[in-house]
Structure 1
């Protein structure tokens, strides 16, 4: 029996900067941070799943967008009660805003949506859930 979504793994160029973005700005909680023989690892809790963030000793290049014709992860999505307020907060912090708040396309599940980039270039989608979700 499925219990729920657990975590997604990602790589960071700078763990302090990544934790600051996801925890200080997006309100995730740092659940675990430790050093390993390959670098550092952190788990950031959303309350309904986690981000497992690895920061290797090796040099890491910036994330690239996955083209529409290529399989892969396109973005991470987090739900908020007020997308407009969240985008204002991120904009004030100097975060790159790709697309400001607007009505969603799939209104059966999402009411409003916006897109930003994290410090490593990963696209992060911010949504307000549709009523009843």
Structure 2
């Protein structure tokens, strides 16, 4: 029997920079950070339920690429906020790469407002307000 969605894993180039984005700006909580046997660094961040797993390979990583329409893959990570406009202003002031400023959601049965930005590695992040 399914108990819930546990976590999603991403690869990052610089774990300190990624932690600054996800923890300091978005508000996720760092639960675990450690170096593993092969020199990679690992972190688990609590997103108020499901977790975000970050792996920073000791050998480095390339910048993320968007998944093209018609190609299978993860298109974006979505985080729910009390106010999309407030988090947007925080990210804008921090110099985060903004893809789309806040607007009313097209799928109003699921969300009220949305905005899009990129994390330090180019991964698309959707910000929603229910």
TM-score (norm 1): 0.95
TM-score (norm 2): 0.97
Cα shift at 1:106? 0.6
Provide the residue aligned with 2:105 in structure 1. Answer: 104
Provide the residue aligned with 1:116 in structure 2. Answer: 117
Q: Secondary structure at the match of 1:126?
A: strand
The within-5 A match list for 1:57-96 is 57-96=58-97
Question: Unaligned 5+ residue runs, structure 1?
Answer: none
Aligned structure 1 segments of 4 or more residues deviating by more than 6 angstroms = none
Q: What's the C-alpha RMSD, in Å, of the aligned pairs? A: 0.6
Q: Give the whole-Å Cα distance in 2 for the aligned partners of 1:105 and 1:53.
A: 30
Cα shift at 1:48? 1.3
Cα shift at 1:5? 1.0
Provide the residue aligned with 1:23 in structure 2. Answer: 23
Provide the residue aligned with 2:3 in structure 1. Answer: 3
Q: Give the whole-Å Cα distance in 2 for the aligned partners of 1:61 and 1:24.
A: 23
Equivalent residue pairs, number: 129
Question: Unaligned 5+ residue runs, structure 2?
Answer: none
